[in-house]
Amino acid sequence: MTDPRAAWEQDYQSRGQLWGGNPASLPEIPSGSRVLEIGCGSGKTVGALVLRSCDITAIDFSEKAVEMTRRAMMRYTAGDAVVADARHLPFNDNTFGFVIARHVIGHMRNEERRAVAREITHVLQPGGHLLLEVFSVDDMRKGTGREVEDATFLRGGGIITHYFTIPELEALFPALKKESVTSRHWTMRVRGKDLLRAEIFAVFRKRIK
């Protein structure tokens, strides 16, 4: 079985900054909020967080990704990026007001997704929010590669992708309250054909006991 950490490390080492463009748009996050970004990649989201004067901690299990995120943070002289595994977060319970996980848990197998969901629930403060983004079962890439679990496909580079339904995503976080779940569809033109891309964006809140 291909080691997913090695696959991602190789991808970042060979291709560098995998995602370009402007910093990702995010829902309203109050200034001073303590934010954890899981799977920071090359630091694309950091700019949007810094502009809101957030206290940012970013993690990735790829050393190359963390290196690139640290460079991005240096431009803003803010935040911290560390190498860590989302399945075993090195933080105390009730630490963060916001957790951001964009296209992270979809690159894991079922049991790993469940482990990360539990870890996220632990580190969120009561009343804290999880901002989550994954690919939908409507996405045109579903079915590309070898199916290793239901709706989970392994492609040639050793990276797996799971494609979610909305009920499945909601069920992954039973201890959190759903605030909103929306689908986004757009087309990508490849070799003269318009192909459908689809993702799900969800916001969950940790209940206050």
**What is the per-residue pLDDT across 40-78, written as a single tens digit (0 to 9) for each?**
887 878 777 877 778 999 999 888 888 888 888 887 767
> For residue 69, what pLDDT is reported?
87
Residue 198, token pair as written in the block: 């689809």
The angle that helices 4-15 and 63-76 make with each other, rounded to 10 degrees, is: 50
Residue 20 lies in a domain: no
* DSSP category for residue 26: -
Domain range enclosing 119: 4-13+27-206
Residue 199 lies in a domain: yes
The tally of domains found in the chain comes to: 1
Q: What is the separation, in whole angstroms, between the first and last Cα of the chain? A: 42
- Full-model pTM: 0.89
91 CB-near residues (< 8 Å, 6+ apart): 36, 57, 123
Is the predicted pLDDT of residue 8 greater than 60, yes or no?
no
192 CB-near residues (< 8 Å, 6+ apart): none
- Residue percentage of the chain with pLDDT more than 90: 59
Contact 45, 54 (CB under 8 A): no
SS3 assignment, position 4: helix
Q: CA angle, 89 as apex, 93 and 55 as ends, to 5°? A: 70
Is the predicted pLDDT of residue 22 greater than 80, yes or no?
no
118 CB-near residues (< 8 Å, 6+ apart): none
At 149, the amino acid letter reads: E
The CATH number for 131's domain is 3.40.50.150
Contact 162, 113 (CB under 8 A): yes
Residue 181 lies in a domain: yes
